[in-house]
Chains A and B, each alone.
Chain A
Amino acid sequence: QKEVEQDPGPLSVPEGAIVSLNCTYSNSAFQYFMWYRQYSRKGPELLMYTYSSGNKEDGRFTAQVDKSSKYISLFIRDSQPSDSATYLCAMSALGGSEKLVFGKGMKLTVNP
């Protein structure tokens, strides 16, 4: 079993839809959970960052972590065509010198 599993999609939704992106993991030592957004042929940019369990909201984006189920989610409300990108989850154990472990990335297309 890989440390981090992410459905690579692709996922296509109409503009205005609520999007749910998910990752599962096997390493119970993971404590820091990140979502990166990557536009085509560009480097990833950090979108959301959560420590341990719980929810974090930033505008139209909400990140959720359920450590008991080893499951994290990113919700996008009122999705826009500009949200079309690949979304990668990433995790680390200590948040310090520990390296990040990435999911494979989910390609999202929001159709106008």
Chain B
Amino acid sequence: DGGITQSPKYLFRKEGQNVTLSCEQNLNHDAMYWYRQDPGQGLRLIYYSQIVNDFQKGDIAEGYSVSREKKESFPLTVTSAQKNPTAFYLCASSISGKANEQFFGPGTRLTVL
């Protein structure tokens, strides 16, 4: 089955710890995206990548980092610098040049204890 997988589904972290969220796709898409979703806030773009070994900051990149070493993978690290990391994190991908047709993964809910 083609699609996007995110793991884990639920993640708990202590304050001051870094944590990495996984996103993998087998759709052969060049572009990948990370969003954060908070109640009443909609989706906000954290980082996006149009091609391997290249990525750009979105609207709320502070406290996050990403890498894009493989086409299929776009992991997101939530660092201890992120002041309010508890949220639902969504990864998406699209064909290059088709940002308007993004396919989303199932999401990871991160809770900071």
Using CB atoms and an 8 Å cutoff, list the residues of chain A in contact with chain B: 6, 8, 32, 34, 36, 41-46, 49, 88, 90, 92, 95-100, 102-105
Contacts and interface: CB of A to CB of B under 8 A. Distances in A.
Most A CB contacts (10 A, CB to CB) among B43, B44, B101, B109 go to B43
Given A43-B105, A43-B107, A97-B50, A105 B100 contact: no
13 contacts: A41-B109, A42-B106, A43-B6, A43-B92, A43-B105, A44-B104, A45-B104, A97-B97, A97-B99, A99-B45, A100-B99, A100-B102, A104-B40
A98 B40 contact: no
Interface string B87-98: 000101000111
Contacts of B98: 95-96
A102 B42 contact: yes
A46 B99 contact: no
Nearest to B91: A43
A42 B99 contact: no
Contacts of B42: 6, 88, 102-105
A43 B93 CA distance: 12
Interface residues of B, number: 28
Contacts of B55: none
A5 to B, nearest CB: 10
Given A8-B40, A99-B45, A99-B48, A46 B101 contact: yes
Nearest to A104: B42
B63 to A, nearest CB: 19
B41 interface: yes
Contacts of B41: 104
B43 to A, nearest CB: 4
